[in-house]
A and B are shown apart, each in its own frame.
Chain A
Amino acid sequence: MTVEVREHQKTPLWRNATFLKWVAQIGVLIALLALFALLGREALKNFNQSGISFGWKWLSDPTGVDIREGIDTSPDSGVRALAVGMVNTLRVGISGIVAATVLGTLIGIGRLSKNWIVNKLSTIYIESIRNVPLLLQIFFWQAMALVLPQLTTDDVGTYWFKASNKGFGLAWFRTDGGFWPWMLFVVAGIVVGRYVSRYRHRIQEETGRITYPGLSWFATVIVFAAVGWFAWPILRILAPVWHGIASFFRALPPIVYPIVGAIASIGFAVLWIRNFFESRRTPAGFGKLTDDDWFRVIFAGFSGIALAIVSFVIGGFVLTTVGGDKATVAELIGRGIANVFDWFGRSFEVTSGSPIVGSRPEVIVKGAGFVNFSEGGVVMSVPFFAIWTGVTLYTASFIAEIVRGGILAVPKGQTEAAMALGLRRSQYLRLVILPQAFRIILPPMGNQYLNLMKNTSLGIAVAFPEIVQVGTTILNQTGQSLPVVLVWMGFFVTLSLGISAIVNYYNRKMMIVER
């Protein structure tokens, strides 16, 4: 039987699905670009009318901003002040993420415990913490710290630990003269240890003898660190090498950096497209690409070219440095790299001191009747304590629920099979249940990390100088609202995308292989 096509006419364009799809894609792209252009023009117009010139000069202008704590308490420029704020945000955020993960996991497991007291305590923790607004909790911890005893002249002295309403002082370590040369030994130990562990792993595979590859790696690092502790002054001979590298970068024409940027972005796009074609390849040859596939390829290609152009534009951007002279971004990058190597060279010229020394908090009299901690040890200020404790405990309560859900989602048969094989509770939790729960837990966990990072911006409520607080001060002084907001947004977007990328990487790595 033959099939007869009764009407064989050309499909008109307005009924052609492929054509319409392309039109829609291109249309959306153009509309989006137009919207941005329009908004940008409006913003500039309004700025001009209000007499504030939109610009970035405030980045290099000296500021009168005093920052209560951070890597630099009296920054000499706007960009420096923002950098201090960013570092403070990261300090709260990263240490908070680590602490919240550990605490949340323990409480999540505790809530599944058959021990009645542990179980109820965990439940009470979760229910009380996650049902109270975070801002109130931060105020609560601030209030708790502020009722601690005041520092008086009686308190002058050195401590291992000291709690007061000026913060908490704790004995800690600090780097000393030989730190960087010693670190080179440690890094060498890690690299050499990798080869040692690989070698011993191969021996184990070949002979079946237990050779402890991981342990030997660790031992190698310890040996290198121990030798380096005494031998670091001999690395002085490397100081001229670092300075030589610095001079090399100083002599390099600045145009090199945008060229490298352009090659990298185009190279990345080409690589992506090649991998994409590779992933569409079937044993029978190349599969047919769909329209969506072509959109992706074209988009990747355009992005690569666009980024290459952008790297030249940014590279040629002229900035005023803090010193007052003008330089392009490319020149500044070159100077920055050279300065890092020069600084490295100077660190290697040091011959006195140990790599790391212990350091204890010290209470001293600072001016008439004014008593406070001096440089020693680590001092956790009251604002830092309030915001850190607040976001950590708050996020931990959500993480606990995620961990509990993840563990419950692993089928009961897994526990039974592991028990029937004779594995103990601690063993099967670690070897069987948690690895499977981890895959379920990871994506929502990433969300909590993002939330914690963003919630650090509540530090402004207790005057903790994180990026939003510092930015607000600059904004009030200069009136440059839009640029400051752009910096904030850029910072948090970069941070969030970074966290997402890490989480996604692990997520892909941990995926269960299915048919």
Chain B
Amino acid sequence: MTMHETTPERVLGDDIVIAEGVKKWFGDFQALKGVTTRVKEREVVVIIGPSGSGKSTFIRCLNRLEAHQEGTIIIDGTELTNDLKNIEKIRSEVGMVFQQFNLFPHLTVMDNITLAPIWVRKTPKAEAEATAMELLERVGIPEQADKYPGQLSGGQQQRVAIARSLAMKPRIMLFDEPTSALDPEMIKEVLDVMKELAASGMTMLVVTHEMGFAREVADRVLFFDYGTIVEEGTPEHFFTNPQHDRTKLFLSQIL
């Protein structure tokens, strides 16, 4: 049973993320060797690949946590350059969820979620809190609103982190290995939230090792190795009929 059977087929829109020949060096080491891909609105793209292949670096370039040095990145019609105004605009439209959750430990769950809407979007506090409660209900932990992150389990923290990103009403969500730091029994609760989000029509780029999630939810899978996209295609293509030797090797090692 897949989500595609239980929910109406998502209709993909126009290109919302355009990457053309993106290159990135860390000192001598070239992490991205010309990445070119396009993501459509409401599309769910899963990025897989061995560690050090540049997949995290790529999605971190998409909201300028890392600055790419060559190539073009256009997010929702805005080109990502040194222009601070563009960077601010893109960051407020692109949400990101991290492997280590990165919740603010000195703030309650509620304050974590309302911080950016209040300070960046200038939303009135009461309104921001109402939205935050809706989001907490959506991720299934409304009763934790007044707790601090340190009092929550890993899975709960990651769900708060997702709610925190959603509070900015982003058009695109980036997930950087969202379940890698979780205990096995907590992975499912986070994946369920992500599936619900995909079904609701959110554009998502997900770096993950969860092949089940990729097979079930992804519209397209990108396989990264040595800083380039080695192979891309639908999950069916990927898991039944991979073309490239490196893809076959990688899949044989993790499946």
Distance of B139 from chain A, by nearest CB (Å): 17
Q: Which residues of chain A come closer than 8 Å to B65, judged between CB atoms?
A: 416, 419-420
A427 within 8 A of B: yes
B148 within 8 A of A: yes
Complex CA–CA separation, A413 to B98 (angstroms): 8
Complex CA–CA separation, A204 to B125 (angstroms): 9
A502 within 8 A of B: no
A489 within 8 A of B: no
A208 within 8 A of B: yes
B122-144 contacts to A (CB < 8 Å): 124-127
Asked if B116 contacts A416 (CB within 8 A), the reply is no
Number of residues from A at the complex interface, CB < 8 A: 26
A470-514 contacts to B (CB < 8 Å): 512-514
Q: Which residues of chain B come closer than 8 Å to A419, judged between CB atoms?
A: 63, 65, 91
A431 within 8 A of B: yes
Give chain A's interface secondary structure class: helix
- Of the candidates A204, A421, A513, the one whose C-beta lies within 8 Å of that of B115 is A421
Asked if B148 contacts A512 (CB within 8 A), the reply is yes
Chain A 389-421 per-residue mask, 1 if CB under 8 angstroms from chain B, else 0: 000000000000000000000010110111111
Select the residue from A205, A416, A417 with max chain B CB neighbours within 10 A: A417
Q: Which residues of chain A come closer than 8 Å to B168, judged between CB atoms?
A: 421-422
Complex CA–CA separation, A449 to B168 (angstroms): 42
A515 within 8 A of B: yes
Q: Which residues of chain B come closer than 8 Å to A368, judged between CB atoms?
A: none
B57 within 8 A of A: no
Asked if B98 contacts A421 (CB within 8 A), the reply is no
Distance of A197 from chain B, by nearest CB (Å): 15
Complex CA–CA separation, A513 to B109 (angstroms): 12
B165 within 8 A of A: yes
Give chain B's interface secondary structure class: mixed
Asked if B148 contacts A420 (CB within 8 A), the reply is no
Q: Which residues of chain B come closer than 8 Å to A420, judged between CB atoms?
A: 63, 65, 91, 94-96, 165
Asked if A513 contacts B148 (CB within 8 A), the reply is yes
- Of the candidates A416, A418, A431, A512, the one whose C-beta lies within 8 Å of that of B105 is A512
Nearest A residue to B100, CB-CB: A413
- Of the candidates B105, B120, B148, B165, the one whose C-beta lies within 8 Å of that of A423 is B120
Asked if B119 contacts A427 (CB within 8 A), the reply is yes
Q: Which residues of chain A come closer than 8 Å to B161, judged between CB atoms?
A: 417
Q: Which residues of chain B come closer than 8 Å to A417, judged between CB atoms?
A: 96, 98, 102-104, 161
Number of residues from B at the complex interface, CB < 8 A: 31
Distance of A379 from chain B, by nearest CB (Å): 44
Q: Which residues of chain A come closer than 8 Å to B105, judged between CB atoms?
A: 436, 512
Asked if B102 contacts A414 (CB within 8 A), the reply is yes
Distance of B11 from chain A, by nearest CB (Å): 28
Nearest A residue to B103, CB-CB: A417
Q: Which residues of chain A come closer than 8 Å to B100, judged between CB atoms?
A: 411, 413
Asked if A421 contacts B106 (CB within 8 A), the reply is no
A406-458 contacts to B (CB < 8 Å): 411, 413-414, 416-424, 427, 431-432, 435-436, 439
- From known contacts A419-B65, A421-B165, infer whether A413 and B102 are also in contact, taking CB-CB under 8 Å: yes
Q: Which residues of chain B come closer than 8 Å to A431, judged between CB atoms?
A: 115, 119
Q: Which residues of chain A come closer than 8 Å to B106, judged between CB atoms?
A: 435-436, 439, 512
B228 within 8 A of A: no
Distance of A424 from chain B, by nearest CB (Å): 7
Q: Which residues of chain B come closer than 8 Å to A208, judged between CB atoms?
A: 124, 126-127
B150 within 8 A of A: yes
A30 within 8 A of B: no
A210 within 8 A of B: yes
B164 within 8 A of A: yes
Distance of B235 from chain A, by nearest CB (Å): 27
- From known contacts A417-B98, A421-B91, infer whether A204 and B120 are also in contact, taking CB-CB under 8 Å: no
Asked if B126 contacts A414 (CB within 8 A), the reply is no
B20 within 8 A of A: no
- Of the candidates B91, B98, B104, the one whose C-beta lies within 8 Å of that of A422 is B91
B69 within 8 A of A: no
Complex CA–CA separation, A423 to B168 (angstroms): 11
B151 within 8 A of A: yes
Asked if B102 contacts A416 (CB within 8 A), the reply is yes
Asked if B124 contacts A423 (CB within 8 A), the reply is no
B92 within 8 A of A: yes
Select the residue from B91, B147, B151 with max chain A CB neighbours within 10 A: B91
Q: Which residues of chain A come closer than 8 Å to B94, judged between CB atoms?
A: 420
Q: Which residues of chain B come closer than 8 Å to A205, judged between CB atoms?
A: 126
Q: Which residues of chain B come closer than 8 Å to A439, judged between CB atoms?
A: 106
Q: Which residues of chain B come closer than 8 Å to A414, judged between CB atoms?
A: 102, 104
Asked if B88 contacts A424 (CB within 8 A), the reply is yes
Complex CA–CA separation, A432 to B124 (angstroms): 20
Asked if A422 contacts B116 (CB within 8 A), the reply is yes
- From known contacts A208-B127, A420-B63, A421-B91, infer whether A513 and B150 are also in contact, taking CB-CB under 8 Å: yes
Complex CA–CA separation, A424 to B91 (angstroms): 10
Complex CA–CA separation, A411 to B101 (angstroms): 12
Asked if B92 contacts A422 (CB within 8 A), the reply is yes
Complex CA–CA separation, A4 to B104 (angstroms): 56
Distance of B4 from chain A, by nearest CB (Å): 30
B54-112 contacts to A (CB < 8 Å): 63, 65, 88, 91-92, 94-96, 98, 100, 102-106
Chain A 196-230 per-residue mask, 1 if CB under 8 angstroms from chain B, else 0: 00000000110010100000000000000000000
Q: Which residues of A contact B (CB under 8 A)?
A: 204-205, 208, 210, 411, 413-414, 416-424, 427, 431-432, 435-436, 439, 512-515
A-B contact pairs, 6 of them (CB 8 A): A417-B104, A419-B65, A420-B94, A421-B92, A422-B91, A423-B120
6 tightest CB-CB pairs across the interface, nearest first?
A: A208-B126, A417-B102, A422-B92, A421-B116, A413-B102, A420-B96
Known: A439-B106, A514-B151. 7 other contacts (CB 8 A): A417-B104, A419-B65, A420-B65, A423-B115, A423-B120, A431-B115, A436-B106
